[in-house]
Structure 1
Amino acid sequence: MTVEIRERRGPAVEAHAEIEHAADDLFRAHFGLLPWNEDAPEHAPHGYVERVFDAVDGATLVGFAKVIVAGEYLHLEQLSVSPDHSRRGIGGRLVDTVLSAAWAEGFQAVSLRTFAEVPWNAPFYERHGFHVVDAVDTEFHAGLAGTEESLGLMEHGARVHMLAQRA
Structure 2
Amino acid sequence: MTDLAGWPGHAVLQIPVPEMEDWIVDRTRFYDTAFLSDDPGFHHAHITVLAPITTWNLDAIADLAASSSPFDFELADIAVFPGGTIYLRADPVRQFKRLIHTAWRAHADVHPYGGDDPLPHLTLDRLSETVSVASTRKLITRPLPVHGRANSLELVWYRANECHLIERWTLGA
TM-score (norm 1): 0.27
TM-score (norm 2): 0.27
Task: Pick the structure with more helix per residue.
Answer: 1
